[in-house]
């Protein structure tokens, strides 16, 4: 796929609890769910592609309530690099170690 096709396919990057509660996965928003699901559940949904590594264009398509997603501050290109690298290459502002240090949580031992 070309960069332009990727941009059309994936509009933004989110985190969702998948495959179970407490486990977070990065995904690409590809739509707003299916009408029948939205009509029956009466919630706003997002359709999200959860990519597999190292081929991020394959994966799992899930529909998740929009309120259960976290918008990630990364471009589609950055997210693709993150997926292809198996999570090794993350944008500087999205590295967990930096976030933990900034929050004062780094190196704290559980009591």
Does any domain span residue 48?
A: yes
- The angle subtended at Cα 101 by Cα 95 and Cα 105, nearest 5°, is 115
Query: pLDDT value at position 110?
Result: 47
> Taking the model in full, what pTM does it have?
0.75
pLDDT digits (tens, 9 = 90+) for 8-41: 678 899 999 999 999 999 999 999 999 999 999 9
Separation of alpha carbons 13 and 10, rounded Å: 8
Does any domain span residue 17?
A: yes
Q: What total of structural domains would you count in the chain?
A: 1
Does any domain span residue 91?
A: yes
Does any domain span residue 107?
A: no
Alpha-carbon dihedral of residues 56, 34, 11, 97, nearest 10 degrees? -60
Does any domain span residue 96?
A: yes
pLDDT digits (tens, 9 = 90+) for 31-74: 999 999 999 999 999 999 999 988 888 899 999 999 999 999 99
The CATH number that applies at residue 47 is 2.30.30
Range of the domain at 75: 3-102
Does any domain span residue 89?
A: yes
Lowest-pLDDT choice from 7-11, 53-57, 82-86, 87-91: 7-11
Does any domain span residue 111?
A: no
Query: pLDDT value at position 88?
Result: 87
Does any domain span residue 42?
A: yes
């Amino acid at each position: 796929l070309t960069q332009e096709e990727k941009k059309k396919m994936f509009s933004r990057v989110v985190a969702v609890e998948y495959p179970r509660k407490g486990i977070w996965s990065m995904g690409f928003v590809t739509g707003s769910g299916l009408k029948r699901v939205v009509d029956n559940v009466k919630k706003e949904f997002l359709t999200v592609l959860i990519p597999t590594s190292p081929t991020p264009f394959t994966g799992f398509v899930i529909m998740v309530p929009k309120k259960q997603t976290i918008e990630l501050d990364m471009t589609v290109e950055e997210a693709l690099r993150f997926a292809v690298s198996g999570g090794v290459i993350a944008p500087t502002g999205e590295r967990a170690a930096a976030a933990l240090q900034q929050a004062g949580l780094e190196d704290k031992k559980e009591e």
